[in-house]
Amino acid sequence: MIGAFTYAPPDTPLDVIHVDSALLLVNKPAGLLSVPGKAAEHADCLESRVKTAHPPALLVHRLDMDTSGIMVFAMNRASQRHLGLQFERRHVAKTYVADVWGQVDGDKGEVDLPLITDWPNRPLQMVCHERGRHALTRWRVVSRHDGWTRLHLFPHTGRSHQLRVHMRALGHPIMGDRFYASGAALAARDRLALHAEVLELYHPEGGQRMRFVSHCPF
Residue 174 · residue 99 · CB < 8 Å: yes
* DSSP-assigned states of every residue in 172-197: -PBTT-TTT--HHHHHT-SS--EEEE
Q: Is 77 helix (H, G, I), strand (E, B) or coil?
A: helix
Question: How many Å apart are CA 155 and CA 197, to the nearest integer?
Answer: 12
Residue 196 · residue 63 · CB < 8 Å: yes
Residue 177 · residue 161 · CB < 8 Å: no
Question: How many Å apart are CA 85 and CA 9, to the nearest integer?
Answer: 31
Question: Which of the residues are catalytic?
Answer: 64
Which residues are CB-contacts of 206 (< 8 A; sequence separation ≥ 6)? none
